[in-house]
Amino acid sequence: MRILIVEDEIKIRTGLGKLIEAVTSHQVIGEAKNGVEGLEQIRAFHPDVVITDIRMPDMDGLQMVKAMREAGMNSKVVILTGFAQFEYAQTAIGLGVADYLLKPLGPEDVIRVLEKIDSQIKRENEEKTDEAAMLSAIYLSGNTSDVSSQIRALERFCRDKAGDSDSEKNSETFAVLAGFMDNTSAQIKEQTIEAFNELTERFALGGCISIIDRNRELVGLLFGERDNTERFVSRLLARLKDIRRTNRMQYGGLVFFDDPDDMPGKISEASNLLNLALVSPREGILTRELSEKMQLLQSPYSYPKSCEGELKNDICSGAGEHIEKDITGFMNYMRTGNFAPEHVKQGYMRYLNYIATILQEIDEKSYLNFQNEFFIRQQENARTLEDLEDNLKRVGLFLAQSREKKEDIRNYTIKRAINYIRENYVEGVTLEETADTIGITPEYLSTLFVKEMGINFSTFVKEFKISHAKRLLKGTDMKIYEVAEAVGFRDSKYFVKVFKEVQGVSPKEYRNE
């Protein structure tokens, strides 16, 4: 399962994530420090399970769950709390919370709850299988206004073809074709349907077609000789690429069947075959035989955790050429690993989420720009290996070109500390507060600061404030005491003293230079 942790205490948040990945096979895809961030990540990553604290700043856990449900987000929710009062439990039950974990956490409790939810999700997925097959059949008709009549019409098409066929022509069979397209404008729809109808006639096939907009899927039902059907599919894929060069209709899932009663299930099977496009870096027809062959060659999945260390350092230092090399190494690993399609998608999502987490903690501006580029959404919507790789290459270009090298520092912990100072210096920051926020001891942070920056923590904060004061003195008409307040000094006389100590002249003299 894919799990999101929402908890304001960083030690609990990171500790729970490490515990889950150490004692279970589940994947922690993200972490958030409050309900607001939690909702953003739920929208972006669609986790299977959300483990959330109740009491958090900005938006608490129950408010977040309520907002989730109102927005139609159906992730399973586990409440993480040390407050076991009935009022919380009662509210949570009304919001459809799946289970509870009480602090302090024990490994056995985490395992028990996640196993329970995993079993529940598997049961629900099995129950949805028949429904999905039925919906596919309905979509194929292109009209959902009358479910029963559309299903009967599809069945009638199959049965009429089966009844018309000569029993001696055992080479004639039914086939379901599924494909997908990046976009389907009205013009592209018309040209696609024209190509489908023209080619069915050319290859002496009976058939009908529908384009499912919300899934970007094309689904066709065919009847005729098997060899003609295979030639038809190859030609149709080529024709669709000619219709619009940027169209990613590069693959077709093809399933044959003889019994009209099998039609709904075969539509789902053909659609599911398209997942092979995530592990098949080529164009062509995806069949059950190919799927079985690829399954035999699949290797056990292992996320390349080692890829993250160098990437983190290179993002922190803004080393563009190294970032490109890091991303290329990750893509090569995923491309040559012979992993299952779902593991390839999970790997790319985890890697992208890791990049987002780094940016969020060291450079808020770059993180906001990252979100505005919709990289995560495009990664989620990827249908082919080429889609995944193209999106990640764009991320690499973004990282190399858009981030400012504000400090040439490779140490991730120091980068996070500086980002915390940048965001909070006006209110005042201390060594203890900063260390607690990033989850290390004050002594260790102090040692790192001297080692990486060549000055101690308090001196850095002081010089940081003065650097901002200098910009205000030169770039605005603010009075001296207003500048002092703007950079976190409550006493303007003390500000003047510190400014002269750092700069060698008073604020007034600096402004008049």
For 225-263, how does the pLDDT look when each residue is reduced to its tens digit (9 = 90+)?
888 888 888 888 777 777 655 555 567 788 988 887 787
* pLDDT tens per residue, range 61-71: 888 988 888 87
- CB contact at 8 A, 95 and 69: yes
Whether the predicted pLDDT of 406 surpasses 70? no
Which has more pLDDT, 146 or 398? 398
pLDDT band at 317 (very low <50, low <70, confident <90, very high): low
How high is the pLDDT of residue 471? 78
- CB contact at 8 A, 362 and 350: no
Give the predicted TM-score (pTM) of the model. 0.52
* pLDDT tens per residue, range 359-392: 877 766 777 778 766 788 778 778 788 888 888 9
How high is the pLDDT of residue 182? 54
pLDDT band at 139 (very low <50, low <70, confident <90, very high): very low
pLDDT band at 496 (very low <50, low <70, confident <90, very high): very high
**CA–CA dist 416, 14 (Å, integer):** 15
Q: Where are the alpha helices (DSSP H) in 24-146?
A: 35-45, 61-70, 86-94, 107-141
Whether the predicted pLDDT of 407 surpasses 70? no
Q: Apex CA 93: angle with CA 92 and CA 97, to 5°?
A: 70
Whether the predicted pLDDT of 83 surpasses 70? no
What's the rounded mean pLDDT across residues 403-412?
Answer: 50
How high is the pLDDT of residue 51? 93
Which has more pLDDT, 214 or 366? 366
**CA–CA dist 290, 268 (Å, integer):** 17
What's the rounded mean pLDDT across residues 136-153?
Answer: 48
DSSP helix/strand/coil, 61? helix
Task: Write out the two tokens for 506.
Answer: 């008073």
Residues written for the chain = 513
Per cent of the chain over pLDDT 70 is 78
Task: Write out the two tokens for 297.
Answer: 């060659």
- Crossing angle between the packed helical segments 263-273 and 147-164, to the nearest 10 degrees: 100
Q: Which residues, in sequence order, are CB contacts of 380 under 8 Å at separation 6+?
A: 44, 45, 46, 349
How high is the pLDDT of residue 162? 67
* pLDDT tens per residue, range 416-434: 888 888 888 888 888 988 8
Beta bridge partners of 172: 225
Beta bridge partners of 176: 221, 255
Q: Which residues, in sequence order, are CB contacts of 256 under 8 Å at separation 6+?
A: 173, 174, 175, 226, 229
Which has more pLDDT, 161 or 459? 459
Please report, for the chain, how many H helices and E strands are present, in that order. 23, 10
How high is the pLDDT of residue 92? 64
